Chains A and B, each alone.
Chain A
Amino acid sequence: QSVLTQPPSASGTPGQRVTISCSGSSSNIGSNPVNWYQHLPGTAPKLLIYRNNQRPSGVPDRFSGSKSGTSASLAVSGLQSEDEADYYCAAWDDSLNGPVFGGGTKLTVL
């Protein structure tokens, strides 16, 4: 069971906007920034969002992140078939003294 809670699945049609939630506690999301990773099967995970809402160079601005209290969310707008992947949230946990991940959300483009 993962420390951060994500819905196991999400879906949308091409062009739609989809959001993925991530819920934690005061020891992780509540006191530390949230990062998001995209993981396509058979490939290395890729950093998608860091420090809650920052995009690394090369990540399309269709991807955006936000955080409020002990929850965070990832939004994907203008959904494309290539966005079909697993998405993980993560944050430093002060109790664990290490990073914790969500269980992952499988995004399906219908």
Chain B
Amino acid sequence: EVQLVQSGAEVKKPGESLKISCKASGYSFTSNWIGWVRQMRGKGLEWMGNIYPGDSDTRYSPSFQGQVTISADKSISTAYLQWSSLKASDTAMYYCARISSGRKDWFESWGQGTVVTVSS
């Protein structure tokens, strides 16, 4: 069974750094793209970017390019989303999701989400 287990909720101050994780199991981690999706409170889903753990090929939405960094450690089947300097506007729920096959395919399995709260 494919499972994506995300790290727990975070409360941070503006300007702090943060790295959240998404641990995959039940399939070959290096064979599927993983995407990150943001949901701000009361809003819809927004694609942030994807990574292919097999070769670390990473693509970003223009809205998030330069704002976050997506990475993966294939030795522990874990993808990451990180910020170097958080803003209050980064407060949101963040989901990782496995993409079915090719990069353009659908989000097949989702993590449970990580709530990030940025407040002074």
Contact with B along A88-108 (1 / 0, CB 8 A): 101010001111111110000
Q: Which residues 1-40 of A have a CB within 8 angstroms of B?
A: 2, 32, 35, 37, 39
CB distance from A96 to the nearest CB of B (A): 7
B53 at the interface (CB under 8 A from A): no
Q: A44-B113, A45-B95, A47-B108 are in contact. Are A96 and B46 (CB under 8 A)?
A: no
Q: Which residues 40-64 of B have a CB within 8 angstroms of A?
A: 43-47, 49-50, 59, 61-62
CB distance from A64 to the nearest CB of B (A): 16
Say what secondary structure dominates the interface of chain B: strand
Are A44 and B110 in contact, with the CB atoms below 8 A?
Answer: yes
Nearest residue, chain B, Cβ from A102 = B44
Say what secondary structure dominates the interface of chain A: strand
Are A37 and B45 in contact, with the CB atoms below 8 A?
Answer: yes
Q: A100-B47, A104-B44 are in contact. Are A45 and B62 (CB under 8 A)?
A: no
Partner of A44, one of B100, B105, B112: B112
Q: What CA separation (Å) do A101 and B43 show in the bound complex?
A: 11
Q: A32-B104, A50-B100, A92-B104 are in contact. Are A45 and B47 (CB under 8 A)?
A: no
Q: What CA separation (Å) do A99 and B105 show in the bound complex?
A: 9
Q: What CA separation (Å) do A85 and B110 show in the bound complex?
A: 16
Residue contacts A-B, CB under 8 angstroms, 6 given: A35-B106, A37-B45, A44-B113, A45-B37, A98-B61, A103-B43
Beyond A90-B106, A97-B59, A99-B35: 16 further Cβ-contacts under 8 Å? A2-B44, A32-B104, A35-B106, A37-B107, A44-B95, A44-B110, A56-B108, A88-B44, A88-B45, A90-B45, A98-B47, A98-B61, A99-B47, A101-B44, A101-B47, A104-B45
Interface residues, chain B, CB within 8 Å of chain A?
35, 37, 43-47, 49-50, 59, 61-62, 95, 97, 100, 104-113
